[in-house]
Every structure is written in structure tokens, then in C-alpha cells.
A and B are shown apart, each in its own frame.
Chain A
Amino acid sequence: MTIYAVGINHHTAPVEIRERFALSDDEISTALRTLHDGILKEAFILSTCNRTELYGVPHDDVETDGYVLQDFLRNLKPEIKVEDRYFFKYFTCGAASHLFNVAASIDSQVLGDVQILKQIKDAYELSLKEGASDTILNTLLHYALRVGKRVRAETSLGIGAISISYAAVQLAGRIFDNLEQKRTLLIGMGETGLLTARHFADRGVRKFMFTNRTRKRAEEIAPKFGAEVVDFSAFPDALREADVVVTATSSPDILITKAMIKSCMKGRYNRPLLVLDISVPRNVDPGAGSVGNVFLNDIDALQGIVDHNISKRKEELPKAGAIVTEELVRFFVWYNSLEATPTIQKIREKFERVRQNELERFRHRIDEKSFEAVELLTHRILQKILHPTMRSLRTQTHDVTSLNMTVQVLREVFDLNDEAPDTDDHHADEPSPGKDNDQ
């Protein structure tokens, strides 16, 4: 009973492979159905822009191995030539550990990425919908989701902006109280400028003014943000109304001088003004930053915020790693108990059979009332004899070698080796992750 994890991700494959290999929900559903009807007892596929990973429990460990699953995955996109070296393959402990690291966002390209947990949840729901996951993967995923939640709640791994454009929003949040009420002037309609505007819009900013040398470009984009278009020649006047100014142009010249800032500050009664110059070369006179209540930050300053936040996130890695280890141990205590479950069941059945047979022989020798008392008595004796054995088996689930030895001894002592264990019936002893199961 092996858990496999096979796939490609940003550690193993370049972006041009990853982006083409990403699967849609429909493609995942089809793949899950095919797998479940064929080689896998349980299957789960996670596909994002940075990873396409298949987790599976095969019907037969001999016939289905990591290479078979790798070929299956490769054949989902036959038009892309994905070499063997782009795939990773993990088994059981490695597979569980990898999934937990993904859920903890330790494995993410952007350390502490907050999206991944939701992506795992969505992929799990898809797997449930297709009926592809069962006891083992369900439990594995419950534990993985719990890892993700605990890392969010108990560490600061996802805290702080780690992109220039988002750092700009974080900085604005440290200056202004109600950012939603502030007016943002965007000079230049380049990609970085628009990304910054998008982050401001996500933060609730609704008052935008856009200006560009080519007015038409500003007019095309403005409706998406509900922005007012300002003529490029008139932007110095707009400075007076703005609380945040973002310059993101390819102009090699200084567009905003210190004199312009000084003049505008008089007109705005010294209200704070945040100027984010994310152009290279810079578009704002560095001297403008010396004017009172003006906060001028260029791309290096914003990079400083990003670097600081990244180093802070890295400091959280040991805490997140400890959570992963803790949950891995818990998961494997349960997983190892699956080895013991069939034996426990067989012992119970055998003893029960002996009891029933002996009771049947005894039935006609005593009256009905006495028989009930004897039945109860033998049941209790049986429970008391079996209880320590069962408890001993369950407490050994943290040590597979010791557990296997005990199972073997018990099977020989009670002569169970002739009876094939029913490995499918694991449900009875499956511990539930309890409160954390929100699926």
C-alpha cells in the first residue's frame, strides 16, 4: 500500500514546460476518472501555474509504480515533449512530506504564497466530486489542509508584501488611514504602473486619475478602474488633488521637480503626499523628498520593503517546518495503523467464532436466563483478554518495524496466516482529523 506523488513543478521544470502542462478542471476530471477506473485505487491531481502533481494509491504496487504514473501524466499532454528529468517522484513518506510542504507554502516559488491552500482545497473537492479519493488520500489531504491552516495561524510565513507593486500599497497603508478615500494619480500606463494600480484597487482605492503621453492609451484603460483621464500636460495641476502619485514611465527625464512638489504642497494645505517613483531612470527629482509631509520612494526603497519581508518570511521557515513534521508524525501513526487493522479484525473474528461455537454447545444444558448471563460473561472475558493486545498494537504505530514484527508474531500465535487479510476494510479504525475536517 504505497502513496505515490509524481509531477512537475518549478523546482524540476522550466516555466515554458510548466505553463503548457497546466491542466484545466475538465482535463483533471477526465484524468481522475481514467485513473480511478484503471490503475489507481485513489487519485488526486493538483495543477496550478507552477505545478502539476498527481497523488495516487495503486491497486497493485507491483504493476503500478512511479514510472507508470509519470507516463500517464505525460500522455495527458502528448503534444508537449516532457523529458523524464523534468519529473519528480516520491513514495509514501516522501509523497506525504511533499504535499505537506506544498500546503504549508514552503515549497512555493513565492515563499508563503497564500493562494496554494485554496488551490489544494479546490483540487480536493474536484477529486471528491469524481469519487477518486478514498480513505488514504482523504486523510492525507485533511492533514495537508490542517498543515496549511496551522502555518497561516501560527507563523508569519504569509505576512508582508513581496512584490514591488504590492510593497507600494503596504507603504501607502503606513501613511494613510483610509486608503479607500485617497486619490491616486498614475503617470504612465506601463505594465508595472498598472499592476500597482491594480493592487491599490484591490485594497479598496476607487479614486484614480490616469495620465499618459499618448492619451488614447490612458482612455482605453481608465474605464476598468473607473479612473478620470488627465491630459499629460495638465498632470502638475492634478498633483494637488492626489494623495498618492505613481510614476511608471519609460521617460529618461525628470517629470516631477522639487519646485512642482513645493508648489503643490502649498495648495493642498500640507496634507501628506506619497510619491512612488517606480520608473528607471527615475522620473521624480530626488530633492522633492525633502519637502515636509512628502514621502518619496523609488524602486530601491520599495525593493527594501520586499527584501525585508522576504527575510522575515525565511525566519519563519523553522516554525513552519516543525508544523509539517508534527503533522507528518500524526499522519503516519494513523497510516501505519492500517497495517495492523486487518490483523486486529481477524483476531477478533477468530475469538468470537470460538466463543459462539462453545456457547452453541452449551445452549441446551441451561435455561434461557442463565444462558444470557453466560453469554455476557464470556463476552466480557473476551474483551478483557483482547484489549491489551489491541492496545499494544495501536501504540506501536509510530514504529513500523516493531509493528510489523508484532503483527507477524500475533498472526503466527493465533494461526491467522492461512486467512487472507481483508486489506480493503480500513474504515473501522480510521482516526478522523476531527475538528479540522471542514470538507
Chain B
Amino acid sequence: MISIINNFLETILPIAYALVTLAYGLAFVRDDAYAAGWRTRLLIFTLVTHFFYIGTHTAEYARCMVTTPFEIMSLIAFTITATYAYIEHRTKSRETGFFMLFVAFMFVVVSSVMTRMPSVPNPVLEDNTVGIHVSTAIFGYGALAISAVYSFLFLILYRNIRRNTFGPFFKHLPSLESLEKLSVVAAAIGLTFLTVAMLVALIWLPDAIPNFSYADPKLVITALVWLLYAAVLLFYYVFKIDSRRIMQLSVSGFLLALFSMTVINLFFSTFHRFI
């Protein structure tokens, strides 16, 4: 029974994300009143569906959804969507929804297409420390994704204003200053969680994994991501360089994190694969 429900939710989850992203997109680009009226309801439906999917998935496999990077992607998508829903509820501002949900949608699509279940769970995952590592990493990457979306929107609006293009981005988005602040705050939160995730991993992994290496491509890229976001905060709070450069750095950091989650995990030999 659980398996049937899980399969059903797994099928409708990307559809729900596609619909909610479409609704926010139509409301943003075309000022579509019908889409605008439905978008928040669809958002709640998507969140609830995702929540139950996490539950049924956990129940079916009798373990947390942390075995593969694609399961983690699904959790990151949930984190982004839940964070966005909270921001929307608090600020009543729906202008950035399309972009946030588009990123979450991409995570869900990749996660749904690529999910493969290991027949025997890796014993490393039975260690309790993994819970701290994974949950902080998920919150960290979720926050960095949000930071990157705000940075991306900043860059679009910046370009629009400099080029005197006054389309939907100019009309709907929050001010450049707001986007910059939101991006930097999200980056600071993300970096904090990522730091904890990395520290836990550095203490726990050398003993837990026999073939552990500091030169592992996953570790190297994650360290680079950490350095990029540390630079974002340093340039913003200390050196006060041109905002555009800071935002470009934030987007680059997230793209690198995405590269680490997908390409490195799929095509490079790394101890960070549990399947």
C-alpha cells in the first residue's frame, strides 16, 4: 500500500512543481489574474504533497532520504519551497516566487528522473552523525540556492536598469538593495550550515570511511564553494566592492555546488557515493 502511494506521489510531485512554477511564471510575466489567484493554493498543495512524499519514501525504505544525491536534491527542493512559502507568508510578496520555484522544480525533476535505490543500504549511513551532517548540508545548500536566486535576480534587474529595459523584471522585482541584502543574508545562513556540515564530516569521515581522502574531488569542490561564499561575505561586509561582482560570485558559488552535486557524483570516483 505504502509503495503504491509512494509511487503515486513520486509521479505527481514533478507535475505539481511544474504547475506551481507555471502559475507563478504566468502571473509574473503576463500579470495573469487567473494564475495569480491559483498560485498560492498550488504552492500549499505542492508543499503538502512533497511532505507526504518524504514520509512515504521514508516509510517504504525504512530509512531517511539521504542515501543518494538525488534524494538529497529532493530534500533541498523541499527546503527551498518551504523557505519561499514562509517568506511569501511573512512579506506577502510573490514576485520572486517563479524563480525560487523554478530552481526547486529543476531539483525535483533531476531527483525524480535519476532516483535509484540501493539494494543494500551503506552501513556508513547507519551512523547517527550522518543525520547532523546531512541535515546541516541540506539547510546550507537550500540557503545557498536561495541566495543564488536573489543574486541572479539582482543581476537581471541591474542589467535592465543599466540598459533602460523596463519590462516585467523592472515592474515586479524588489529593489536592487533588497535583493542584495536578501542574497547576502541567505549566503551567510547557508555558509554557517555548510561550515557545520563540513566540520562534522571532517571529524567523522576519516574514521567512518576506509578510502577517505582529502583530495577527493567532492571535498575539493565543496571547499571551493565554501571559499567563494566566504569571499561573498568578506567583499560585502569588509571590502565593500561593487555589488554586481558580489552577486556574480554568489551565482558562481551555487553553480559550482550544483556541479559538485551532479557531475562530480555521477562521473568522478568519490567516497561520497553511497550506491
- For the complex, is A160 an interface residue (Cβ under 8 Å from B)? yes
Nearest B residue to A296 by beta-carbon distance? B162
User: A171 CA to B157 CA in the complex, in Å?
Assistant: 11
User: A177 CA to B157 CA in the complex, in Å?
Assistant: 14
In the complex, the answer to whether A292 meets B161 with C-beta atoms within 8 Å is no
Nearest B residue to A265 by beta-carbon distance? B242
- For the complex, is B89 an interface residue (Cβ under 8 Å from A)? no
Contacts of A300 in B (CB 8 A): 164
Q: Report the minimal beta-carbon distance from A282 to chain B, rounded to whole angstroms.
A: 15
Q: Report the minimal beta-carbon distance from B40 to chain A, rounded to whole angstroms.
A: 18
Interface size class of A (residues with CB under 8 A): 20 to 34
In the complex, the answer to whether B162 meets A295 with C-beta atoms within 8 Å is yes
In the complex, the answer to whether A305 meets B31 with C-beta atoms within 8 Å is no
In the complex, the answer to whether A174 meets B244 with C-beta atoms within 8 Å is no
Contacts of A177 in B (CB 8 A): 174-175, 177-178, 181
- For the complex, is B171 an interface residue (Cβ under 8 Å from A)? yes
Contacts of B243 in A (CB 8 A): 270, 272, 293
Nearest B residue to A295 by beta-carbon distance? B161
In the complex, the answer to whether A293 meets B166 with C-beta atoms within 8 Å is no
* A156-B31, A270-B242, A293-B242 as given contacts; A176 in contact with B164, CB under 8 Å: no
User: A270 CA to B241 CA in the complex, in Å?
Assistant: 6
Nearest A residue to B157 by beta-carbon distance? A174
Q: Report the minimal beta-carbon distance from B32 to chain A, rounded to whole angstroms.
A: 12
* A156-B31, A297-B164, A308-B166 as given contacts; A175 in contact with B241, CB under 8 Å: no
Contacts of B173 in A (CB 8 A): 174
Q: Report the minimal beta-carbon distance from A183 to chain B, rounded to whole angstroms.
A: 14
In the complex, the answer to whether A292 meets B244 with C-beta atoms within 8 Å is yes
Contacts of B164 in A (CB 8 A): 297, 300-301, 304
B 155-183 to A, binary, CB cutoff 8 A, 1 in contact else 0? 00100011010110011011111100100
User: A304 CA to B24 CA in the complex, in Å?
Assistant: 27
- For the complex, is B41 an interface residue (Cβ under 8 Å from A)? no
Nearest B residue to A316 by beta-carbon distance? B31
Q: Report the minimal beta-carbon distance from B56 to chain A, rounded to whole angstroms.
A: 42
- For the complex, is B240 an interface residue (Cβ under 8 Å from A)? yes
Within 8 A of B (CB), among A287-321: 289, 292-293, 295, 297, 300-301, 304-305, 308
User: A417 CA to B242 CA in the complex, in Å?
Assistant: 87
B 236-249 to A, binary, CB cutoff 8 A, 1 in contact else 0? 00001111110000
User: A272 CA to B178 CA in the complex, in Å?
Assistant: 12
Contacts of B162 in A (CB 8 A): 289, 295
Prevailing SS type, chain B contact patch = helix
Contacts of A269 in B (CB 8 A): 240
Contacts of B240 in A (CB 8 A): 269-271
User: A321 CA to B109 CA in the complex, in Å?
Assistant: 43
**A176, A292, A297: which contacts B242 (Cβ < 8 A)?**
A292
- For the complex, is A281 an interface residue (Cβ under 8 Å from B)? no
User: A171 CA to B174 CA in the complex, in Å?
Assistant: 12
Within 8 A of B (CB), among A246-296: 269-272, 289, 292-293, 295
Nearest B residue to A304 by beta-carbon distance? B164
Nearest B residue to A292 by beta-carbon distance? B242
Contacts of B245 in A (CB 8 A): 292
In the complex, the answer to whether A175 meets B166 with C-beta atoms within 8 Å is no
Contacts of B157 in A (CB 8 A): 174
User: A52 CA to B34 CA in the complex, in Å?
Assistant: 39
Nearest B residue to A154 by beta-carbon distance? B33
- For the complex, is A94 an interface residue (Cβ under 8 Å from B)? no
Nearest A residue to B178 by beta-carbon distance? A177
- For the complex, is A173 an interface residue (Cβ under 8 Å from B)? yes
User: A293 CA to B240 CA in the complex, in Å?
Assistant: 11
* A272-B176, A295-B162, A297-B164 as given contacts; A174 in contact with B170, CB under 8 Å: yes
User: A295 CA to B177 CA in the complex, in Å?
Assistant: 13
In the complex, the answer to whether A304 meets B161 with C-beta atoms within 8 Å is no
Contacts of A270 in B (CB 8 A): 240-243
B 216-240 to A, binary, CB cutoff 8 A, 1 in contact else 0? 0000000000000000000000001
In the complex, the answer to whether B161 meets A174 with C-beta atoms within 8 Å is yes
Nearest A residue to B176 by beta-carbon distance? A175
A 155-181 to B, binary, CB cutoff 8 A, 1 in contact else 0? 010001000000000010111111000
Contacts of A178 in B (CB 8 A): 177
In the complex, the answer to whether A293 meets B244 with C-beta atoms within 8 Å is yes
In the complex, the answer to whether B161 meets A171 with C-beta atoms within 8 Å is yes
User: A156 CA to B157 CA in the complex, in Å?
Assistant: 22
In the complex, the answer to whether A272 meets B244 with C-beta atoms within 8 Å is no
* A295-B162, A301-B164, A304-B166 as given contacts; A175 in contact with B175, CB under 8 Å: yes
Contacts of A272 in B (CB 8 A): 176-177, 243
User: A175 CA to B167 CA in the complex, in Å?
Assistant: 15
User: A137 CA to B178 CA in the complex, in Å?
Assistant: 49
Nearest A residue to B245 by beta-carbon distance? A292
Nearest B residue to A173 by beta-carbon distance? B175
Q: Report the minimal beta-carbon distance from A264 to chain B, rounded to whole angstroms.
A: 14
User: A300 CA to B163 CA in the complex, in Å?
Assistant: 12
Contacts of A156 in B (CB 8 A): 31
Q: Report the minimal beta-carbon distance from B10 to chain A, rounded to whole angstroms.
A: 40
Nearest B residue to A301 by beta-carbon distance? B164
Q: Report the minimal beta-carbon distance from B242 to chain A, rounded to whole angstroms.
A: 4
User: A175 CA to B170 CA in the complex, in Å?
Assistant: 10
Q: Report the minimal beta-carbon distance from A306 to chain B, rounded to whole angstroms.
A: 9
Contacts of A308 in B (CB 8 A): 166-167
Contacts of A292 in B (CB 8 A): 242, 244-245
Of the listed residues B166, B171, B174, B245, the one surrounded by the most CB atoms of chain A closer than 10 A to its CB is B166
Contacts of B181 in A (CB 8 A): 177
Chosen A-B contacts, 11 in total, with CB atoms closer than 8 Å, are A175-B161, A176-B175, A177-B177, A177-B178, A177-B181, A178-B177, A271-B240, A292-B245, A293-B243, A305-B166, A308-B167
CB-CB nearest 9 A-B residue pairs: A292-B242, A177-B177, A269-B240, A301-B164, A308-B166, A177-B178, A175-B176, A177-B175, A304-B164
Q: Which residues of B contact A (CB under 8 A)?
A: 31, 33, 157, 161-162, 164, 166-167, 170-171, 173-178, 181, 240-245
Q: Which residues of A contact B (CB under 8 A)?
A: 154, 156, 160, 171, 173-178, 269-272, 289, 292-293, 295, 297, 300-301, 304-305, 308
User: Contacts A177-B175, A270-B242, A308-B166 given; 6 further ones with Cβ under 8 A?
Assistant: A156-B31, A174-B170, A175-B176, A270-B241, A300-B164, A304-B164
